[in-house]
Amino acid sequence: METATLIGYVGEGGELLGVGVIATGMVAGTVRYLWRLAKRDPEAYPDYRHTTARTLLLGLEVLVAADVIRTVAVAPTFQNVAVLACIVAIRTFLGWTLQLEMEGRWPWQRAQVPPPATIAPHNGE
């Protein structure tokens, strides 16, 4: 089997994996949401949004990797690389907005860590 053909299959497998991650995560997240909703859990919807965003973020990362494999390894023409750059830019922007939605900060911003708890000195009272 020719190397380019094998790499093409690997890229297609990556795309199927990315779609599978998104589809499986959405189904599992929806089932979990409906279960928690039936139990009247007040955190059901915020958790569902967080789970959905994480699922989409992971799926987008897998899809970008598959696109890179297929484009660079199989047909690295200037036009294909330009199309890949546009796809990666769009998916990166989507990933950043999903992370902003999940964590309330941009990926390049530091996470706010609460200050360590201090123990008040004991007066002997």
pLDDT of residue 94: 85
Residue 13 pLDDT class (50, 70, 90 cuts): very high
In whole angstroms, give the CA distance from residue 98 to residue 93.
9
pLDDT at 84 over 80: yes
pLDDT at 85 over 80: yes
pTM of the entire structure?
A: 0.71
Burial of 39 per CB tally in 10 Å (0-12, 13-18, 19+): exposed
CB-CB contact of 26 with 57 (8 Å): no
DSSP per-residue letters across 41-82: -TTHHHHHHHHHHHHHHHHHHHHHHHHHIIIIII---HHHHH
Over residues 88-107, the pLDDT tens digits come to 888 888 878 887 877 777 76
